[in-house]
Structure 1
Amino acid sequence: MKPLLGQSLEELTDWVKGQGQPAYRGKQLHQWIYERYARNLTEITVFSKAWRAEVAEVAVGRSQLHFRSVAPDGTIKYLLRLTDGSIIEAVGIPTVKRLTVCVSSQVGCPMACDFCATGKGGFLRNLETHEIVDQVLTVQEDFGQRVSNIVFMGMGEPLLNAPNVVKAVRSLNQDIGIGQRSITVSTVGIPGQIRRLGDEKLQITLAVSLHASNQQLRETLIPSAQKYPLKTLIDECYDYVHVTGRRISFEYILLAGLNDLPHHAGELAEMVGGFQSHVNLIPYNPISEVDYQRPSDHQIQDFVDELKKRNVAVSVRYSRGLEKDAACGQLRAQKLAD
């Protein structure tokens, strides 16, 4: 049977009833998994010893902590070992008022974006629903406080694992109590998948990683862009806003001298204008495999000013965890087994 983590109260209740237990055991099981972080059923002391022995081999679905590193700013990177031996990364990002978790959706990533460390290590498989939910519970348990926000910006392309990502979003919302509007799913764009995600009628924030203001430049940075023209991508984004009523965030990594010039800002403004959107600029976080450079603060501000002149809503995201390779674009598979 599939692991218990990621299943709803109703599903867990049906399972315990199928085991010959009373229905109220379902609520107890749900509380012990999602609130008390039970890793196996033998820990659940409200169950009889006899039944615990019977179901001792049933998998809850928790990972094992492989490695944990803390950056000076308090950001914590977790390497989590899954049951098949694969290792993934999750990041806990604390602020005064929030605890955000950056979660992975795949082991590795097949998109091979040139500026991103994760894609340099290749792709192994999609994560199951419980393996996604587990990352949030791991961070919440370790910090000893409730997670307030979740961003699907870790390893992998979420919309290539859309069924499990959608199930995980519903579980994080209904079982852990995180509002859908506090959950962000990031994608570089997979043909047809943004429309399909819109049909789910979730109230999440969709973040679309553009990283370029024209098709030619985007193909240089993101190989998959050859199969997905910017016009088609933007059309899907427009449909998503129309169906969901939710604003889209466009992610744009600033690479010095490559995509951060005034004419790039003009092209970007023309592309994302006309519907409910917001541009999130991310100064490049360095990785060892390529020699892209981070723009100066002056260059970043010039780009912001150009967008504002064209009435584009814009902000700059300075990534946390830079010193521990936990920042945006720095998560990598080849380091995980060290």
Structure 2
Amino acid sequence: MLEKQNLLGLTQEQFKKFFSDLDEKPFRTKQIMQWIYHQGASNFDDMHNFSKDLRQKLRAIASLELPEVVSINNSKDGVIKWVIKLGEENHIETVYIPQKDRGTLCISSQVGCALACTFCSTGYQGFNRNLKSYEIIAQVLIAQNHLKESKKRISNVVFMGMGEPLLNESPVYDACELLLDDWAFGLSRRRVTVSSSGIVPALLRMSDKVPVSLAISLHASNDELRDVLVPINQKYPIKELMKACHYYLNAGTQERHVLFEYVMLEGVNDSVEHARSLSKLLNYWFKGESAKVNLIPFNPFPETKYQTSKESTIDKFQDVLFRSGIRTTTRRTRGDDVDAACGQLAGKVLDKSRRNAGRNQLLS
């Protein structure tokens, strides 16, 4: 018996081909997408503008199945974390962060992560596999269904959960297309952000494919330190990364934005000298362009050797960047009481990366 195709995650063009193969007209695409994403339908029988024969055919060959939610954790500050089971003892985590003017959903793109950034809890879990497009979109649907009860909304989606999005390109691009599609979630391109540690060839490809916002997990302004914190830097050093970011900003006709994320680690990358070096780097490459820095207080986890920078140290660091003309914000720590803060997402991963045999080995 053939496995049923999960239709969640199909783009408009993919749906058109799907219905064409069934000898159905293209208008079925708009109908089914609006049923799924606007009406929240999870059963083909609810789609009453489909013929009985079509509904029967869809039940036989396709599904709209969401993965199992193992637990829902509510933080005292309003953050919600879903732990989602994906089989083979694998779990991913998805986080909703409410704010006064928006609600941000942080989604995962991989089961675990192969990049082994030394300050990130996900990196310590190892890596199992990439998520399929329907598994990425399912996270948004699970959160959306849950939030309806409290009349909360998802205004922003960020690929900042488990995994490196640009090592899972096609499913991530398809998911971005759906997030922007008016027949699906209808978000503006400025409200969808892909975060990357710096996979330069994929970043160049993304520049020409997906017009969303970009966040770069930078964390150091020189190769010697970044090689330690973000080991993929050994393969794609800072100069190559900056060139790729500059290309991204100038690709296409619409204005684009890049955010540089910088985790604040006490005594490691948080001195005034580090701030001056960072401001020099960014002003050289991006002066007058739409780029800014987000300082992230480090969120500890059991295996870590790092400590969080003192608040006064972060303030001094930010002041140096401000005075050099770089737009800078400091991220408020949210959801740390349920391990939902930045860098704390761990899930449960059946590691296939042999991480313990060599944590800093780079991808070939």
Q: Deviations over 1:89-147 (max 9, x none)?
A: 11111123211100101111001111101010111111111111111111111111431
1:310 aligns with 2:317: no
Mapped to 2, the partners of 1:181 and 1:332 lie a distance apart of 27
1:188-207: CA deviations, max 9, x gaps?
Answer: 1013222111122x331111
Between the aligned partners of 1:237 and 1:303, the Cα distance in structure 2 is 23
Matched, 1:152 2:159: yes
Measure, in 2, the Cα distance between the counterparts of 1:195 and 1:14. Answer: 28
Within the alignment, does 1:326 sit opposite 2:340 as a pair?
yes
Identify the range of structure 1 (45-54 vs 132-141) with the bigger mean alpha-carbon deviation: 45-54
Of the candidates 61, 65, 69, which is equivalent to residue 65 of structure 1?
69
Provide TM-score, normalisation by structure 2.
Answer: 0.85
Unaligned stretches of 5+ residues in structure 2: 351-364
* Equivalent runs, 1:22-41 vs 2, <5 Å: 25-41=28-44
From 167, 176, 185, give the equivalent of 2:185. Answer: 176
Percent identity between the two aligned chains: 41
Query: CA 1:239–1:14 in structure 2 vs 1: closer, same or farther (change >3 Å)?
Result: closer
Pairing partner for 1:258 from 259, 268, 271: 268
SS of structure 2 residue aligned to 1:273: helix
Which of 106, 128, 134 pairs up with 1:130?
Answer: 134
Distance of aligned partners of 1:146 and 1:223 in 2 relative to their CA distance in 1, 3 Å threshold: same
**Superposition deviation, residue 284 in structure 1:** 0.4
SS in 1 for 2:39: coil
SS of 1:141's partner is helix
Alpha carbons of structure 1 residues 216 and 5: separation in structure 2 relative to 1, 3 Å: same
**Inter-CA distance 190–21: structure 2 relative to 1 (3 Å threshold):** closer
1:107 to 101, 106, 111: 111
Distance 2:89 2:52 in 1: 31
CA distance in 1, matches of 2:59, 2:257: 46
1:23: Cα distance to partner? Answer: 5.6
Q: For 1:199 and 1:31, how far apart are their aligned partners in 2?
A: 28
Per-residue deviation at 1:224? Answer: 1.7
Paired residue secondary structure (2:259): strand
Task: Find the aligned partners of 1:227 and 1:111 in 2 and give their Cα distance.
Answer: 11
Output the CA distance in 1 between the equivalents of 2:243 and 2:96. 34
Secondary structure class of the residue paired with 2:82: strand
**1:98 alignment counterpart:** 102
Using the alignment, how far apart are the partners of 1:141 and 1:103 within structure 2? 15
State the shift of 1:46 in Å.
4.8
Q: Select between 241-250 and 325-334 the one with higher mean Cα deviation.
A: 241-250
TM-score (normalizing by structure 1): 0.92
State the AA in 2 paired with 1:218: R
**Residue from 225, 228, 234 that aligns with 2:233:** 225
Shift of 1:15: 3.3
Shift of residue 158 of structure 1?
0.6
Unaligned runs of 5+ in 1: none
SS of residue paired to 1:164: helix
Asked if structure 2 preserves the Cα contact closer than 8 Å seen for 1:14 and 1:26, the reply is no
**What is the rounded CA distance, in whole Å, between the counterparts of 2:347 and 2:153 in structure 1?**
28
CA deviation map 1:219-278 (0-9, x unaligned): 111222211211111121122222244231110000011100000001101111141221
Matched ranges for 1:175-254 at <5 A? 175-200=184-209, 202-244=210-252, 245-254=255-264
Deviations 1:258-310 (A, max 9, x none): 10000000110111114122111001011110131111211110000111122
Residues 75 and 311 (structure 1 numbering): CA distance in 2 closer, same or farther, change over 3 Å? same
* 3-state SS of paired residue (1:55): helix
Change (3 A) 1:285 1:238: same
Q: Which residue in the other structure is 1:121 paired with?
A: 125
Aligned partner letter, 1:96: K
Amino acid at match of 1:6: G
Distance in 1, Cα, partners of 2:114 & 2:349: 17
Post-superposition shift, 1:81? 2.0
Q: 1:228/1:20 Cα in 2 relative to 1: closer, same or farther (>3 Å)?
A: closer
